[in-house]
Amino acid sequence: MARRFLSGKIANTQSLQVEIAEYEASLASNDFEERMKKSNVEAMNLFVSLAPTLDIHDMKITIGEHAPPKLTLADVAVSVRPDVLVTISKKGAKQSGAIKLNISKGSPHTKDSAEYAGALLRHYLATQGHDDCDYRCCFTLDVFSKKFVEAPKAITNRLKDAEAACAEIARQWDSIKAP
């Protein structure tokens, strides 16, 4: 629902609240679905309270691909998957970016982790042909920590850290045994 709201497919927060209420009233077929629905409703209600504070009014926003190509770092396929794509015109020049949502109650972003996610988002867009990608159009939105963080301008060191982490994962991957 958050992606549809951000992209304008849900017109306003009142309409979003109606959709949340309809979802909450729907029947779950088992305990797992009921727990997921409860968590999703909590997240969406937090999103509704955040929505008016998001400075996205001048942006054209479209929903990102469901299964976009992965980003390869040190032989590891990383799923970046921008939730929504952003386009804005400033002084006649087109700038692009994206927003990555984090709706994990158990793993809210710190400012640092949000900036790493933003750096990967920027790098991913650049590798996908978005030459006009601008850090001021790339954000991470963490619903549970209530943070809307702009991607950092300088990403070289963060990308080196991500490459190093992926190299370590690749190095150890074959030694991991399934339970």
pLDDT tens, residue by residue, 116-167: 999 999 999 999 988 889 999 999 999 999 999 999 999 999 999 999 999 9
pLDDT of residue 3: 94
pLDDT of 178 higher than 80: no
pLDDT of residue 47: 95
Rounded Cα gap, residues 117 and 119, in angstroms: 5
Higher pLDDT, 57 or 34: 34
The pairing of strands 133-142 and 76-78 is unpaired
pLDDT of residue 108: 87
Give me the phi and psi of 34, to 5 degrees please.
Answer: -65, -40
Q: Are 169 and 76 in contact (CB under 8 A)?
A: yes
Domain boundaries, the chain: 2-53, 60-173
pLDDT of 177 higher than 90: no
- C-alpha distances (whole Å) from 174 to each of 70, 74, 169, 178 are 20, 15, 9, 10
- pLDDT tens digit sequence for 44-93: 999 999 999 998 878 999 999 999 999 999 999 999 999 999 999 877 88
What is the radius of gyration, based on Cα positions, of the chain?
Answer: 18
Is residue 16 very low, low, confident or very high in pLDDT (cuts 50, 70, 90)? Answer: very high
pLDDT of residue 173: 87
